[in-house]
Structure 1
């Protein structure tokens, strides 16, 4: 069946929990609109989705909580939001519900909606291959289909007979194979002399991440400047609110360090840089696609860390390492996020040959370049019309 099967314009319900999901959601909406120009898109979305006419019932930031302990602090509000969505979509049934990432929130929502006869899709596989493997049974109950971004995930779903389509990643389409450094520097207004290096400080997009990582990042910047007078720092922030949060901490902790803060220009800041000091997350995949060396950090609440350490069975946390199945970028987690570790790792990437690493990044880029938006849209249309 094709998109013409439906007599009326369909309604697509979509829920995303953070900015990486907003990027996926916007790409998907753009493609679905080519098939259904009059379709309605409603649920929870971010600024990129809203710009395409998406109707958000709650602010996306409501769901942008990381860590077990942190979620517990917001549990009543999160349960209220989910209950409200179940009631709304039960009364106003969409043609299909698509949960993008945020599995702890979306899978329960999908299970409740599927029980009411609504077709459900989980776009971005939960890391069932890494921890809480038994969630595969909940995923089977909750979804009609999983859309996976990473090639090794599909084999796991096939083993458990759960419908899954590998679609690649929309960022692999959006980011060019070569990101020109000098063009990006000019666009950001960075004046970089011949032997000067640019380091991007990227402490994440969630408030919790920022508070935990910004002090370590600023101390690392101070340590680097003590040894090298030819380094500039650029700080890309996802929003003005987060930029303000960074500026307050910068002024109180390291006002002597000159930083160039930019808002909403993450890809250009990456492209302008020689090395990135970066929080673990989807952003590390963006960095690999931009082909820049990186040093990955991850910090959470102490109790969350103790719980996660016992449950997660991963060798690595960053997507470049998971995709390469070896450590191609250094990772420093929790207590290992120390200035001396970060400084040494950044220096190695600034002043040593990185051509082998760049070649690995190119390979990852080709692997993920699958026309993800169109592939996802076609899979959803086929499910909706089945």
Structure 2
């Protein structure tokens, strides 16, 4: 009998979680010993974090599921004054308030089932601690006295940029430990993913800290409204994207329903193409085009009078492959899907030097999936060997190499037959 694969997180992930627990416990012990400074301020920011956690939507399709809570936590970490009066809450109280408020706001989610991931919670603790350590000790020692004009706001923005970098490094490091993918592409992917809502979170956190320093705690509800509206807009955009993807997935299943391709083939090609695209450093929009094209790569077979046996187009003559690809591109254009997707579909059979990167990936992954599927269990290495030995113009060497790395880390070495 073979034992079930272990679900224990990698040591690097456990180390990050353990460090977050140690930081949180140490800060709590410090606060219990020294007492809570400026209780009304702590309660106000704690309530803001609780509200942000209550509004959390883990499946919202954005990288930061609780932007209001994150903005409130960062603002408290960078808070130096309240209505002109210096604060003295320090690093330990900042972390304690954020952790306690996050836990309190997560209670309803725990009761309903979905909950924030342990890795995300650990990163929240460590990034808030990082921001507070960078700001609070220096501020309390008077290091920023005399900073006037734009210098002080720019300082806060610079500290927030470092905090975002810290969070991205932690996220990329834990992803590296889980997946084995190179750290550099993972870090670039994390940084790209923080351009949208995370930028709004940082800007709101800085504005909150500056506004509370001048007008007091009344600034918190005022400056929460724009971020709440942005969060709502992101959720609507995510819902539209999800509906759009479901429509494309339904179109992709048309070839399976018609008996032209095996069940699950399009989804396996899309999943593996996405992994190869990330391995090659494609950005978010490029990965979206790649996924849609991979899902619809066989749709041209609907125009054939005589179906290809098992839908295996990769072994057809080059001219026939290109004809089916052109038919597929024409079908995609009629569906109203983005033109970039149609271009990938119709050029997937061209010589690789003439193809866009996404088309190179779809062609290689489709051929690999067909060959591995036909070879049965353990057919992955043989399929990769066939791709490497194919004529020079068929498959891009860098794509085949990336595919081999993905498969070696647990990709579809023996694709399941639907």
TM-score by length of 2: 0.28
Structure index of larger Rg = 2
When you count strand as a share of all residues, which structure comes out higher?
1
TM-score by length of 1: 0.30
